[in-house]
Amino acid sequence: MNEELTKNLAPGHGTCAGCGIPVIVRTILGATDDPVVVINATGCLEVTTTVYPYTPWKVPYIHNAFENAAATASGVEAAYKVLLKRGKIPRQARDDSPRRIKFVVFAGDGGTYDIGLQSLSGALERGHEFVFVCYDNQAYSNTGGQRSSATPFGASTQTTPSDRKDFGNELFRKDIIEIVKAHHIKYIAQANAAYPEDLKAKAEKAFATKGPSFLLVFQPCNNEMKFPTSQYVAVGKLATESNFWPLYEISAQGGSATGGEKMKYTINYAPKERKPIEEFLKTQGRFKHLFTPENKKIIEEIQGQVDEGWKRLQKVASIK
C-alpha cells in the first residue's frame, strides 16, 4: 500500500469492505505535516482500530467514551498548552523548538449530533484549538443501523422501520452545521468521502485555523444505507450531484477573537445540472420502500426539501 497514505493509519484495520472511514481519516491526517494526536469517540472507527493487542494507529490515540470526545480533546489540548508553557513538550531535533502538535477528533453522527452534542458545544465555546471531524453515515451503524438525529426523512432504519403503512423516519435531519456555527468558530465545512481532494483542501484550512474547526463528512455506509460494497464513491457522488449533500464551507472574515461576526459561506461545488433525488435514493436499500405509488409523495417531499435547502444555501453564499 501507498506509504504516504498509510503513514498515520496503517492497513490491517477492521472496517467493512467498501467503507469510506479510512479514506476520511487518511485524507485529513495527511493534510498536515505536524504531528497529530487523535481523539476518538466510541463508534465504527474506534472498534475497528483498537482491538487489543493490535492497532493500525501510528500516531498517539485516545478513545475515552461515546459522548465525550470533545471534552477529552479539551483536556489533551489544555495539557499541551500548560506543558508548552512549562517547557515540557518534546523538542524536535531540527531546531530544538518544541513540537507543534495538532489535535483531531473523529466521531460518528451519533457521537456528534446526539450523545456527543453537549461536550462538543462546550469544547467549541471554550475555544480549544482542535479539528472536530464528524464522519456522518446518517445512522448508528456500529450498533446495527438505528436512527440517529442525522438520519434523513424517509429512511428506513432498525428503529424507524418502514412497513406498508409507514414510510420510515418521519423526522428531519438536525442541521448540525448551523448549530456549530452558532458557537462563532472560525472554520466549518461540509465535505464528502467521495471527494477526497475537496476534503483535503478543507482539512488544510481546518488545521490552519486558530481555535476550533469543524468538518462534517458524508460517509456512505454500504451496510446500513444498504448498497453493494463497490459503490460508496458512486453513492457519495450522487449525494452531492443531487444537492442532497452540497460541498460548502463557512469561514470567518477577520472578525473578533471569538470567531468573528462576519461569516462567509462558500459553495465549493455546484453541479452543472442537479440530478433528481430519485437517482440518489434508488441506489440504497434504506429508501427502497419509497418507490411505491403510495410513497411517491414522500419522494416529492424529499425533492422539495433538497431544493429548498440548496436555495437557502445559494442565498447565504451570495451575501457579500
Partner 1 sequence: MALALKQINPAVMPVYPITPQTPIIESFAKYQAERSVDTEIIIVESEHSAISAAVGASAAGARTVTATSSQGLALMNEILYIASGMRLPILMAVSARALSAPLNIHNDHSDVMGARDAGWVQLFSENVQEAYDNILIGLKLAEMSRTPVMVIMDGFITSHSFENLNPLSDEEVKKFVGEYNPEKFLLDVDNPVVFGTMALPPHYFDFKVDQDKAMRQSFDDYKKITEEFSKLSNRSYSSYESYELDDADQVVVVAGSTAGTAKDVVDKLRKEGKKVGLLKIKLFRPFPTEEVKNALFKAKNIAVLDKAMSFGTKPPLYSEIVNSLWNLQPTTYNLQSYIYGLGGRDIFQSDIEKVFEDLISGDVSDEIKYIGIKK
Contacts with partner 1, residue ranges (CB under 8 A): 35-37, 39-40, 46-47, 50-53, 55, 57-65, 67-68, 71-83, 85-86, 88-90, 99, 101, 118-119, 121-122, 125-126
Nearer to partner 1, 49 or 240 (CB): 49
Measured from the CB of residue 135, what is the shortest distance to partner 1 in angstroms?
Answer: 18
Nearer to partner 1, 46 or 136 (CB): 46
The continuous run of DSSP H or E covering 252 comes out as strand 247-252
Q: Are 27 and 21 in contact (CB under 8 A)?
A: no
Q: How far apart are CA 236 and CA 292, in angstroms?
A: 24
Q: Are 126 and 183 in contact (CB under 8 A)?
A: no
Nearer to partner 1, 38 or 281 (CB): 38
Measured from the CB of residue 185, what is the shortest distance to partner 1 in angstroms?
Answer: 16
Sign of CA dihedral 271, 273, 277, 283: negative
CA distances (Å), origin 118, targets 44, 66, 69, 121, 231: 21, 12, 11, 5, 34
Burial zone of 35 (CB within 10 Å; 0-12 exposed, 13-18 middle, 19+ buried)? middle
User: For 2, phi and psi rounded to 5 degrees?
Assistant: -55, 120
Measured from the CB of residue 97, what is the shortest distance to partner 1 in angstroms?
Answer: 14
Three-state DSSP state, 300: helix
Measured from the CB of residue 282, what is the shortest distance to partner 1 in angstroms?
Answer: 36
Q: How far apart are CA 161 and CA 106, in angstroms?
A: 28
DSSP 225: I
Nearer to partner 1, 118 or 230 (CB): 118
Measured from the CB of residue 102, what is the shortest distance to partner 1 in angstroms?
Answer: 10
What is the number of residues in the chain?
Answer: 320
Measured from the CB of residue 231, what is the shortest distance to partner 1 in angstroms?
Answer: 29
Nearer to partner 1, 122 or 260 (CB): 122
Measured from the CB of residue 256, what is the shortest distance to partner 1 in angstroms?
Answer: 20
Measured from the CB of residue 222, what is the shortest distance to partner 1 in angstroms?
Answer: 22
Q: How far apart are CA 76 and CA 60, in angstroms?
A: 11
Q: Are 157 and 144 in contact (CB under 8 A)?
A: no
Nearer to partner 1, 46 or 241 (CB): 46
Nearer to partner 1, 41 or 225 (CB): 41
Nearer to partner 1, 115 or 306 (CB): 115
Identify any residues that bridge with 136 across adjacent strands, giving them in sequence order. 218
